[in-house]
Structure 1
């Protein structure tokens, strides 16, 4: 990335990674990504966030093109995920005089990122940092956007705020300011993918973050991935989009999805009988039976995270539940779904580990697990059908 002058005193000095196609193991990056970092140059020289460890050599040359690293006074870590903090240790080797500032949670992480007990300190909500010339930075805590350590740094003199991952996108173009985006449609697609994958589990915190952002006069938002957002270009729309995407879903009726896979139709049959049992207790319940192999994962993820209760159905294959069910469980928002009623069921032939394994996972995720699930061996009998129906009744009665 060429160094870009964002304003009189602020430079974008991050690194482009146009070829990456997956981030953080699970997040698609169809259009690559960037590891943004910013430098405020003045009486005090301030770095805000660092970069991915793979790109340190390129990054430090960007820093040197603006300022001698030995003259950096502070490094502000708004968020300490390794794609932002992974080069911090190397940076401090060439900038040993720099003091690192982060949130209280961030400093806990820094102890194990830098593997030392000093050289950094915690800042608090509303605390300011005098950077000379009558200018200051103000720190604003923004936990769970998307880690507990996240904070924003506000530069009032430039009407600019540094938000780390918040309002970012995995999107890479040579000139990373929104007014230069060549394909806005593609950018917004990547913006949505990024939001869903990273902030989808934290929607209540997104709304709080927007309130905090709107409480200050900020014409320029500098995130840690993707283009800088500016007033009159993409900033207003981006804020409106994430506000829309973060609204809580409401159901007029009890919504109870049943997610299942079935090798030969026996687990499908159980899903139908359990559904009948639920509706015998809650007649107007919206019980949606979904074969997970017939729906895209992002659709299923929305439903497993927005319901009144849910059930998982899986046969046992190779002493395990089947991969599509595990993949679905990997999308569960464990913070906001805590305490939700859930259980599991399935048909098995040999040993039947799927249901107890799923129940164990649900318990570890702090859900309210119902009974010991329900299983049958091979083909359900009429007695099994009645037992499945009764299981559904009891499940509904606890809601």
Structure 2
């Protein structure tokens, strides 16, 4: 169905520009659409934070902000372009006919991609606008795509602009690599009551010794060694869920937790360039025990999982990081982000903090041919780690990305 809609939009734009425009005006409309998309991608999170800060349209804040920015910018620029091109310019019969159709096809493809992108951010059932990932067993490495991949074209173009010669301190290609996949996976379980966005910054990462290579001998819940993944290194990252955000942040899936990795040579500037997304395979449930999770499994952190004086519940998540890359950022749901410090060896790693949900109510059906099973309920004693808690939170570099003072990406 969505393929048909894309084709109709493309044909409609081609017919409209062929019948009602000139080649110069058609080309101007295409450029205006690209410019409007740059504004929409660059500032939609800033506008969304304004809505969220006022408790307005919170689940819909990002898609509505994206649509508003694009429509308003397109209207203003298109009006200006029409005023500047008042005199008709005739480039010849065949160049006019062919050029108008070509511009219309690209315009329709681009507009349909932006429409799909906005819908991907919306809190609607996972099968809309199309089923990008399997409902029960999503695989981030094998997404389904629409005919001609228009949403990938729209987001990919801005990613190139953001990380190329026009890039600035913050690159969209680093903060949101594979943006469409992120958006679909983030709302994969919204029908099960899993929020896709939080009212405030929901996570934090210790400034030191928060990421380390997994030690040898780590096992799954059945006592079997964790199988290595070719070309990847098992890495542990300590991530904290804030107690004051537990209402929206306490229920989540591994698909909503993303580790942004970059080449080690580029890690000194974590927000520039281009990143690669990695999703967790589970979390540490014992000193040498890894509780594996699928991307669609629901993890619940309740207030009873926090100590009497704890404001953060630390969880040690495991990721398969591609060889040659290092983690630089961790992202959670739609609007939380924190910087990851330098990776350390297992010898320098802090004492593990096991996590076993006190509620024992995780809704995690076991996948086929997977022998892992949930741990028994019970709240472990959380080791004190004062060195990790000192100076925890966003660095001045990343703080503007989640607050009202968010700058543009370019």
Same fold by TM-score, threshold 0.5 exceeded?
A: no
After TM superposition, the score normalised by the length of structure 1 is 0.28
After TM superposition, the score normalised by the length of structure 2 is 0.27
Pick the structure with more strand per residue.
1
| Greater RCO, CA 8 A, separation 6+ | 2
